[in-house]
Amino acid sequence: MSQARSVYHFNSIIVREPSRSVVNGLRADDRGNPTFEGVKAEHDAYIAAMRDAGVEVTVLPALEAFPDSIFVEDPALVFTEGAILLRPGAESRVGETAEITPTLRGMFETVLDLPTPGFADGGDVLTTPKSVMIGLSARTDKVGAEALSACIEKLGRKAEIVATPEGVLHFKTDCSLLDDENVLSTARLARSGVFKDFKQIIIPEGEEPAANALRVNDVVMVGSDFPRTIEMLDKLGYKVVPMKTTEIGKIDAGLSCMSLRWFRNGR
């Protein structure tokens, strides 16, 4: 019998090496290209931190044809119960799903396809102990969110469709789960009232990108460019692991984007 455990207890993740083309990754505002070497260093440190947190890491090879393919969180969604193949809402990223499919078919007994039509990105999905929240965004439309909701329910979980604040890339750009009762959220997302079942820890003004933190087992990974958020979480008693996200931040990414995480039974 499997033991009850928290939704942030992981023993397996999948990551993908950055390609040289990552410098051309999508972004809403151009603040200059990231460097390949910088992204690679941040990715290497991420893998090391995951291993330190007790997770087995499967590293997939770089895909030059897909600049954003390092962000494996977006083309699929994984749970202990199975995987769901998604359809990213950015045209240049749609092909990433086919690239990750063989790996997921090899690792999961149940692999569901998001029915057509509609789009959904993994970055819009926050798994909490109460439900799997799907944020509507420029990448996840209503039809895609409803189709995803049905897939999630097929896997035995409760799904909930919510709104993402206007102009925010993904739902999880603005929030992360800290533990069973607390979410870390930007003020703008908190104001929208989506987290009625949680206590909200609000990101200090000016550090909004820190909201995409990542709870993995005992630690909370937080971007090292956000000292006030780190201090706040540290004071609240969280075991914070600061991670450099300066380069991936230039292409609108944070810490959740770089992995698919789940608890794999039998490991």
> Looking at beta carbons only, is 139 or 220 nearer to ligand CIR?
139
Tokens standing for 208? 């909004």
The answer to whether residue 257 is catalytic is yes
Is 123 a residue that touches ligand CIR (CB under 6 A)? yes
Q: x/- binding map, residues 155-184, to ligand CIR, per CB under 6 A?
A: ---------------x-xx-----------
The SS3 of residue 59 is: strand
Contact 239, 220 (CB under 8 A): yes
> Looking at beta carbons only, is 99 or 234 nearer to ligand CIR?
99
Beta-carbon contacts of residue 267 (< 8 Å; ≥ 6 apart): 11, 12, 56
Contact 143, 115 (CB under 8 A): no
Q: Judged by CB under 6 A, which stretch of 9-17, 76-84, 98-106, 245-253 contacts ligand CIR?
A: 245-253
Is 257 a residue that touches ligand CIR (CB under 6 A)? yes
Is 138 a residue that touches ligand CIR (CB under 6 A)? no
- Distance (Å, whole) CA 180 – CA 143: 29
Q: How far is the CB of 123 from ligand CIR (least distance, A)?
A: 3
| Catalytic-role residue among 43, 151, 170, 175 | 170
| Catalytic-role residue among 43, 151, 175, 257 | 257
Q: How far is the CB of 69 from ligand CIR (least distance, A)?
A: 10
Q: How far is the CB of 144 from ligand CIR (least distance, A)?
A: 15
Nearest Cα residue to 18 out of 90, 87, 69: 69
Is 90 a residue that touches ligand CIR (CB under 6 A)? yes
> Looking at beta carbons only, is 149 or 256 nearer to ligand CIR?
256
Nearest residue to ligand CIR, by Cβ distance, number only: 123
Q: Are strands 125-127 and 132-136 parallel, antiparallel or unpaired?
A: antiparallel
For the purposes of burial, counting CB atoms within 10 Å of the CB of 102, is it exposed (0-12), middle (13-18) or buried (19 or more)? exposed
Cis check for the bond before 115: say yes or no (omega within 30 of 0). no
The answer to whether residue 9 is catalytic is no
Buried b (16+ CB within 10 A) or exposed e, 167-199: ebbbbbbbbbbbeeebbbbbebbbeeebbeebe
From 252, 259, 261, 263, residue interacting with ligand CIR (rule: CB under 6 A): 252
> Looking at beta carbons only, is 161 or 234 nearer to ligand CIR?
161
Count of residues near ligand CIR by CB under 6 A: 19
Tokens standing for 34? 């990231």
Q: Specify which residues 134 forms β-bridges with.
A: 125, 161
Is 226 a residue that touches ligand CIR (CB under 6 A)? no
How many Å separate Cα 150 from the centre of its chain? 20
The residues annotated with a catalytic role in the active site are 170, 257
Using CB under 6 A as the criterion, which residues of the chain lie in contact with ligand CIR when the complex forms?
25-27, 68, 71, 73-74, 90, 93, 122-123, 170, 172-173, 251-253, 256-257
